[in-house]
Amino acid sequence: MLAGQLELQQTFDNVERKEYLKHKDEVNCFAFSPDLEMMVTGADDGKVRVFNRVAGRLVCRLVAHTGAVKCVAISRDSKLIASGSYDTTVIVWRTCNTQIVYQLKGHARSVETVAFSPDSRFLCSGAWDNTAIIWDLQTGTARNIFTGHRNVIQCCTFSHNNDYLATGSWDHTVRVWPLLRAKMSQCHVLQGHTGNIHSVVFSKLGMLASGSWDKTIRFWNPKDGSHIATLTDHNGWVQAVAFSPDGTMLASVSDDEIVKVWDVKTGECVKTLQGEIDQLQACVFSTDGALIVSGASTLCFEMTKSKKNEDNNKKDEDELNVRGSSSEQSGDAK
């Protein structure tokens, strides 16, 4: 697996290499903490690895899953890590001591996506059983189980105000679920894509974007489910989309090895980036506007120095092998 960070300096230049060689099997997923100091990966060997991204060091391995790790997420306060696996479970880990907080059981098939709510009180998981489950992280129990998709749920995300959950599926639809109990039955089914939905994201301004294997990106109004615009310049499957912190730009990556940056207001592509990263899979903006992109084709990462924290993390960190042990009750959803 490899990744690259592109500093947002008009030209998106200043890329330098850094390798991460601690993976022993194919890397399926990764996530960054909001400050970009921590990076978490999941691999076919069933292990979750936590890296100091800036220093480029493996901090620890989290071992408890009995199948490939298909998805990972980090809470906004960076206190929790979630991982979903082919073994059908979701594990919530405490970052400070690597202990298992909850081992969540409720899905019948492989878990493909996990996402924390902005306030870190809830976690959503989506799976090959076509369901999405919202877990209450105060109790470790299932709060809501959403059904309706006709195929695997590949991606999910909460809106910034916690009012909505969006799920994307291989049934070519996006569903927007109101999270206020009085409106939970008012699900919007967003149709228009002709391929699998691989990424969904909300902007802070409230817009929803979806990226699909039909090579397009669509903007939606989550309040009424209306379609706003379609972006069509990619020549490969769109693997991920991400809004800039102020919501005025959208980045997208596709398997044509192209990164595009779009003006949200006009729908125009303002920058096309092409580098040495194969099989692009994900992208994320930092709070100061730097853009990180990543792919999975080799067992290394391509990164740049972060403008922030360049002088931090000078202490060496020992590599740890950590086998998870429950520090709190585990949650079983029925």
- Does residue 308 sit in helix, strand or coil? coil
183: three-class secondary structure by DSSP: helix
Averaged confidence pLDDT in the chain: 83
pLDDT tens digits, 250-263: 999 888 888 899 99
The pLDDT assigned to 13 comes to: 54
Q: Is the pLDDT of residue 306 over 70?
A: no
Picking from 31-35, 141-145, 213-217, which range would have the lowest pLDDT averaged per residue?
Answer: 31-35
pLDDT confidence bin for 278, thresholds 50/70/90 = low
Least confident residue range of 36-40, 89-93, 200-204, 315-319: 315-319
> Quick check: 300 pLDDT over 80?
no
Beta carbons of 73 and 81 less than 8 angstroms apart: yes
d(CA 317, CA 37): 14
Position 248, amino acid: T
Q: How far apart are CA 216 and CA 251, in angstroms?
A: 13
Percentage with pLDDT > 90 across the chain: 62
Q: How many CA atoms does the CB half-sphere of 99 hold within 13 Å?
A: 8
Measure the N-to-C terminal CA separation of the chain; round to a whole number of Å.
36
For residues 186-203, b (16+ Cβ closer than 10 Å) or e, as one string?
Answer: eebebeebeebbbbbbbb
For residues 173 and 10, the model is more confident at 173
Residue 152 CA: distances (Å) to CA of 68, 169, 207: 17, 6, 24
Phi, psi (degrees; rounded to nearest 5) at 221 = -95, 110
DSSP 56-102: TEEEEEEE--SS-EEEEEE-TTSSEEEEEETTSEEEEEETTT--EEE
Model pLDDT for residues 191-203, shown as the tens digit of each residue: 999 999 999 999 9
Q: Could you tell me which residue, 322 or 89, shows the higher pLDDT? A: 89
Contact 19, 4 (CB under 8 A): no
97: burial class by Cβ within 10 Å (0-12, 13-18, 19+)?
exposed
Predicted pLDDT at 16: 52
Q: How far apart are CA 250 and CA 262, in angstroms?
A: 5
Phi, psi of 325 (to 5 degrees): -135, 140
Distance in angstroms (rounded) separating the CA atoms of residues 298 and 310:
26
Whole-prediction pTM: 0.84
Tens digit of each residue's pLDDT (9 = 90 or more) over 44-93: 999 999 998 878 889 999 999 999 999 999 999 999 999 999 999 999 99
Higher pLDDT, 26 or 175: 175
| Between 6 and 177, residue with greater pLDDT | 177
Q: What is the mean pLDDT of residues 284-302?
A: 60
Q: Kindly tell me if the per-residue pLDDT of 171 is higher than 80.
A: yes
pLDDT-based confidence at 8, cuts 50/70/90?
A: very low
Q: 333 by DSSP, 3-state: which?
A: coil
> Among 216, 205, 280, 214, which Cα is nearest to 249's?
205
- The pLDDT-based confidence of 217 (bands split at 50, 70, 90) is very high
Q: What is the C-alpha separation between 100 and 64, in angstroms, rounded?
A: 9
Residue 130 has pLDDT above 90, yes or no: yes
| pLDDT on residue 9 | 42
Average of pLDDT values for 90-110? Answer: 97
